Amino acid sequence: MQTQKKHRLKQLRRWRVRAKVSGTNERPRMAVCFTSAHIYVQFIDDTVGRTLVAASTRAKELKGQKFAANVNSAKTIGGQAAKAAIDKGIKTVVFDRGGMRYHGKVKALADAAREAGLKF
């Protein structure tokens, strides 16, 4: 019963964030997702419903490196995602934390993306 309540509360937070955050072609939404093993980042244009750029700990260029869903990996993926976005011409984004609180892994990923040159 307790896990159902936690899941429901997280879903409500996710909906509350998504009601306020929307991406455009000029300023896409930077959506982050953390599983127990991996980290995923997507830059999404919500006007057409298309992913412009994506980065994750499962990417081919990061093959052979050991990653987990922790703060150190979040810093690495945040920098990689920002670099990929800048290469595609994306300079400013709207940050979608995916219903998670802005601390720990989420904050580390956002700070790394800012240091790499993204503005949000």
Instruction: Please list the pLDDT of the chain residue by residue as tens digits (120 residues).
Output: 688 998 898 899 889 888 888 888 889 999 999 998 999 999 999 999 999 999 999 887 777 778 888 999 999 999 999 999 999 999 999 999 888 889 999 999 999 999 999 998
Q: Which domains does the chain have, with CATH numbers?
A: 2-115 (3.30.420.100)
Contact 95, 27 (CB under 8 A): no
CB 28 within 8 A of CB 52: yes
Tell me what pLDDT residue 1 has.
63
**SS3 state at 100:** coil
Q: Is 24 helix (H, G, I), strand (E, B) or coil?
A: coil
pLDDT recorded at residue 113: 96
**Secondary structure (3-state) at 49:** coil
- How confident is the model at residue 39, as a pLDDT? 94
Three-class DSSP category at 82:
helix
The 3-state DSSP class for residue 117 equals: coil
pLDDT of residue 100: 87
Identify the residue whose tokens are 């937070």.
13
Tell me how far apart the alpha carbons of residues 32 and 42 are, in angstroms, rounded to a whole number: 7
pLDDT recorded at residue 60: 79
Residue 71 is predicted with a pLDDT of 94
Amino acid at position 104, single letter: G
